[in-house]
Structure 1
């Protein structure tokens, strides 16, 4: 990549965003996030909530003069507020696309997902022509599919705009492990308990495409360098099955049919005993495996990290603090979480750690 090429990255502090910043050390980078980090790290940081009504005008100013926008921003919390998550995902992407057009940016790179695809009908890998109609039971999947339709409209209305869509499998890296864990477990459960699970109750048919964040970032870099357009599947071999998951967790797999597991997860979700939206199980049981031939042929891309190694790294990150040590569960976190479970209400700002 040319030195000092100007690129704006939304969601630059997230799982994939941090990897993309590492992959573009020579670029002049602008990071667009809701809460800029204290340490700039050589990036120009801009605070912007993509879901807000005035976001298009703000982003148009930010995108002026950049050569590409990499749109990674996506919301996962608050998990019980589908409207808020959809505003960030769909309205936020619309605002980004409107600003890209208004600012005359020539290239838009969007991070889609395997979650945009329709449910699999077999374990045969699918290419980018597989329907992007989503998995009905998953709000995340529905939003990913709706963004695909939004980008279709953008491309039809603006044929000179180069649009690329990356569709990775489950993305993991060590530094994202703690956040991934907290999407599923309340603060009452110590991170170290991940390694103490005696059994892993899952349907034996669960198979997932997995990819390391650095390999996604490498694909982003190649798309930017080549001005590539269209969709690209991203996944590493081998697909991860329940035995790989159990091995990574140090647990013994116990087969539980998908329907029974979903019912139990739904009860725990309704009773506010779990943060895991049961729609994620619908997604896990339905996503197709992916043929990555197009990325390999057209981008010269190959994953450097196997799917099982990426999984093992993410699990290791779940049980470690950012400095690599064992995290200490803070009493205020426990009290706040206990109050939330009992009352069903979100904690106040002063109750947050």
Structure 2
């Protein structure tokens, strides 16, 4: 197969390349900053393209020509204060990928959606893929994931039997060791060293926390199975058991202290507005709003089972945080306090600069 992967150098993209490495597939990567051609990135033909560009769909048509499948992973998480740019990447980029895939006659599109696309109303309870994908209003990330799903709905209704076969993957929160530096670059203030996170003596968090978490390698495995089967439709993906506050505290070796989500949310919002940390309140709202995931469809149609428990996946990424784990791609490169300080001074803060 000739498989084109947008966002192929990121967290899930790297895990997918690892799953596909050594196969006879022709792999093509579309990213804003191509990685150095070594390791898992060596056997990929890279194209440099920002999906937020106004002519991205035209450029993608040539890249997609002759492809057997397109895997759309590209998404933006920073700058959180420039939500217009994030929407152009997420929603505009999805529109460009969809338009180009249709024009190029690509047989299958596998789209990275998220538990964040789901509507509130069943917190702590499992939902299947029929639950509404209207998103969490206070989360820009969730709103964009919901809008991207709506684009796919409109496309399928408009084109019917002539539409590209679309599979929508809806994983929980995705982690792995090699993504530790990338995750902390986007989530941790630039002045806080990574190794401080596993040393927290206290975890102030609402005791109600109950979220779906999954290891990136399990997500990648589900993608491979979808590609092999030419599957269509939505698939929930999550590790077991659902992750609670006490499990997080145990992995960190910290003492859990109840702090109501409303109070914590106000603190997150104030510190974000004061530019003390880079995560907007929407991420916390989503963590205390999204439902748990019933993965029965993935088990029955893809013969898929997660190999990592949610607790083991969390241990893996926290171990990576302690060791400053990273990979050889721009999004997953080693986190450096000096680099972050330099870019803050020369290009602006992470939450406001044009590009993350």
Q: TM-score, length-normalised on structure 2?
A: 0.91
**What residue in structure 2 maps to residue 320 of structure 1?**
323
Can you list the C-alpha shifts for 1:110-163, whole angstroms capped at 9, x where unaligned? Answer: 010000001133422100001101011100000000011000011112223210
**What residue in structure 2 maps to residue 15 of structure 1?**
11
**What residue in structure 2 maps to residue 233 of structure 1?**
236
Deviation of the 1:198 alpha carbon: 1.4
Cα 1:345/1:75, change in 2 over 3 Å: closer
Can you list the C-alpha shifts for 1:45-94, whole angstroms capped at 9, x where unaligned? Answer: 00111111111111000000000000000001112110000000000000
1:206 counterpart = 2:222? no
Can you list the C-alpha shifts for 1:211-235, whole angstroms capped at 9, x where unaligned? Answer: 1111111110111111100000000
**What residue in structure 2 maps to residue 28 of structure 1?**
26
Cα 1:229/1:331, change in 2 over 3 Å: closer
Q: TM-score, length-normalised on structure 1?
A: 0.92
Assess if the C-alpha contact under 8 Å between 1:188 and 1:338 holds in 2. Answer: no
Cα 1:311/1:150, change in 2 over 3 Å: same
Q: What's the RMSD between the two structures over aligned residues?
A: 2.2
**What residue in structure 1 maps to residue 198 of structure 2?**
195
Assess if the C-alpha contact under 8 Å between 1:180 and 1:318 holds in 2. Answer: no
> Aligned equivalents of 1:140 and 1:345: distance in 2?
14
Assess if the C-alpha contact under 8 Å between 1:36 and 1:47 holds in 2. Answer: yes
Deviation of the 1:317 alpha carbon: 1.5
Deviation of the 1:322 alpha carbon: 3.7
1:268 counterpart = 2:297? no
1:107 counterpart = 2:108? yes
Deviation of the 1:106 alpha carbon: 0.8
Question: Matched residue of 2:292: which SS?
Answer: coil
> Aligned equivalents of 2:17 and 2:254: distance in 1?
35
Number of aligned residue pairs: give it. Answer: 343
Q: Which structure is higher in RCO with an 8 Å CA cutoff and minimum separation 6? A: 2
Cα 1:95/1:177, change in 2 over 3 Å: same
**What residue in structure 1 maps to residue 224 of structure 2?**
221
Question: Matched residue of 2:126: which SS?
Answer: coil
Extract unaligned runs of 5+ from structure 1. Answer: none
Assess if the C-alpha contact under 8 Å between 1:168 and 1:235 holds in 2. Answer: yes
> Aligned equivalents of 1:331 and 1:213: distance in 2?
28
Cα 1:336/1:62, change in 2 over 3 Å: closer
Extract unaligned runs of 5+ from structure 2. Answer: 328-333
1:128-139 paired onto structure 2 within 5 Å: 128-139=129-140
> Aligned equivalents of 2:297 and 2:142: distance in 1?
23
Cα 1:254/1:53, change in 2 over 3 Å: same
**What residue in structure 2 maps to residue 37 of structure 1?**
35
1:6 counterpart = 2:2? yes
Deviation of the 1:333 alpha carbon: 3.8
**What residue in structure 1 maps to residue 126 of structure 2?**
125
Cα 1:338/1:265, change in 2 over 3 Å: farther
Assess if the C-alpha contact under 8 Å between 1:199 and 1:251 holds in 2. Answer: yes
Cα 1:328/1:211, change in 2 over 3 Å: closer
**What residue in structure 1 maps to residue 261 of structure 2?**
258
Cα 1:85/1:42, change in 2 over 3 Å: same
